[in-house]
Protein backbone atom coordinates (compact mmCIF):
# COMPACT_ATOMS: atom_id res chain seq x y z
CA UNK A 1 0.00 0.00 0.00
CA UNK A 2 1.12 3.54 -0.63
CA UNK A 3 -1.19 5.62 1.54
CA UNK A 4 0.68 8.69 2.70
CA UNK A 5 2.74 9.01 -0.47
CA UNK A 6 1.99 11.83 -2.92
CA UNK A 7 1.29 10.79 -6.52
CA UNK A 8 0.89 12.51 -9.88
CA UNK A 9 -1.76 11.02 -12.14
CA UNK A 10 -3.44 12.24 -15.31
CA UNK A 11 -6.99 12.48 -16.51
CA UNK A 12 -9.14 14.41 -18.95
CA UNK A 13 -12.02 16.73 -18.25
CA UNK A 14 -15.32 16.79 -20.14
CA UNK A 15 -13.80 19.12 -22.74
CA UNK A 16 -10.86 16.79 -23.42
CA UNK A 17 -8.22 18.90 -21.67
CA UNK A 18 -5.40 17.07 -19.88
CA UNK A 19 -5.57 17.37 -16.08
CA UNK A 20 -2.68 16.69 -13.71
CA UNK A 21 -3.93 15.38 -10.37
CA UNK A 22 -1.86 15.43 -7.21
CA UNK A 23 -3.15 13.00 -4.59
CA UNK A 24 -2.26 11.41 -1.31
CA UNK A 25 -2.43 7.69 -2.08
CA UNK A 26 -3.31 6.01 -5.35
CA UNK A 27 -6.04 3.52 -6.23
CA UNK A 28 -3.72 2.08 -8.89
CA UNK A 29 -1.42 1.01 -6.05
CA UNK A 30 -4.22 -0.55 -4.00
CA UNK A 31 -5.07 2.34 -1.68
CA UNK A 32 -8.63 2.46 -0.40
CA UNK A 33 -8.32 6.03 0.93
CA UNK A 34 -7.24 8.61 -1.66
CA UNK A 35 -7.27 12.36 -1.06
CA UNK A 36 -6.97 14.74 -4.01
CA UNK A 37 -4.67 17.56 -2.90
CA UNK A 38 -4.85 19.77 -5.99
CA UNK A 39 -5.20 19.61 -9.74
CA UNK A 40 -4.19 21.66 -12.74
CA UNK A 41 -5.10 21.83 -16.42
CA UNK A 42 -1.86 21.27 -18.36
CA UNK A 43 -0.80 21.13 -22.00
CA UNK A 44 1.77 18.34 -21.77
CA UNK A 45 3.25 15.67 -19.56
CA UNK A 46 6.44 17.73 -19.27
CA UNK A 47 4.42 20.71 -17.97
CA UNK A 48 2.60 18.42 -15.52
CA UNK A 49 5.84 17.05 -14.08
CA UNK A 50 7.26 20.57 -13.62
CA UNK A 51 4.01 21.65 -11.91
CA UNK A 52 4.14 18.57 -9.64
CA UNK A 53 7.72 19.34 -8.54
CA UNK A 54 6.82 22.97 -7.89
CA UNK A 55 3.76 22.02 -5.81
CA UNK A 56 5.85 19.63 -3.68
CA UNK A 57 7.96 22.65 -2.70
CA UNK A 58 5.25 25.33 -2.49
CA UNK A 59 2.41 23.51 -0.72
CA UNK A 60 3.61 20.68 1.58
CA UNK A 61 0.63 20.32 2.52
CA UNK A 62 -1.10 23.60 3.43
CA UNK A 63 -0.09 23.87 7.06
CA UNK A 64 -0.02 27.67 6.92
CA UNK A 65 -1.95 29.72 9.44
For the chain, the domains span 6-58
pLDDT at 23: 92
| Mean pLDDT over the full length of the chain | 86
pLDDT at res. 58:
85
Distance CA 45, CA 50 (A): 9
List, for the chain, all residue ranges whose pLDDT scores fall below the cut of 50: none
The pLDDT assigned to 59 comes to 81
Amino acid 62: pLDDT: 67
Decide if 28 contacts 9 (C-beta within 8 A): yes
Q: Are strands 6-12 and 35-42 parallel, antiparallel or unpaired?
A: unpaired
Amino acid sequence: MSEGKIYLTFGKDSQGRKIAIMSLGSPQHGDEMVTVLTLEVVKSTKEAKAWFKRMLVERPWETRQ
